[in-house]
A = this chain, B = another copy of it.
């Protein structure tokens, strides 16, 4: 026996969420049905709107529902000469919250990983090159995660920078090796940002 068709469908659909198996999906479905139907309806609307309208900024690839994200649109920052390259929007947010950076960003959505079929194209590196070709950016801060893949990606991008005569720097140690940027406290991030070293 199974639950009623719509309940089954809800349970199965909830499994699209990361780390949610059958049991947690069932718990979530019952929680919503029993205690938070308004919240569930709001979630449904938020999902539909976000999936339909949220795309990537045409300049930095950050999530936005407009052509350019709020940072690229900001008059204070659009003329910045420093650009930070991060692996994810969550990393971008972590740097913003450290309060140490007022420049532009570029979001890779991952790192080079040939075995998973993630190469320069998947990371949008031709868009980054277009940015560098404009001549406004003088320094690229490589703020990828301090992992083997993050380091390799940073080196790859540093070479692109040197072809465009743009200085490439790497955020300093301070971020624990093997850790994830997103989970580092603001002070550590700020120190690692301040202590960045030249890569080219």
Contact = CB atoms under 8 A, between A and B. Distances in A.
Interface of A: 1, 3-7, 9-10, 12-14, 16-19, 24, 26-34, 36-37, 39-51, 53-54, 63-66, 69-71, 88-90, 93, 96-97, 109
A70 B1 contact: yes
Nearest to A55: B33
Contact of A53 (B6, B43, B63): B6
A96 B9 CA distance: 19
B16 A39 contact: yes
A108 B114 CA distance: 54
A63 B18 contact: no
Given A3-B93, A53-B6, A93-B1, A47 B18 contact: no
Contact of A13 (B5, B16, B30, B39): B39
Question: Can you tell how many copies of this chain the complex includes?
Answer: 2
Interface of A is mostly: helix
A1 B50 contact: no
A69 B4 CA distance: 8
Contacts of A45: 13, 44
Most buried by B among A17, A53, A89, A90: A17
Contacts of A48: 41, 44
Nearest to A16: B39
29 contacts: A1-B93, A3-B93, A4-B63, A4-B64, A6-B46, A6-B53, A6-B54, A7-B54, A7-B89, A9-B50, A14-B17, A16-B32, A16-B40, A16-B43, A17-B32, A18-B28, A18-B31, A19-B24, A27-B90, A30-B88, A30-B90, A32-B47, A32-B50, A40-B47, A40-B50, A40-B51, A41-B47, A41-B48, A43-B44
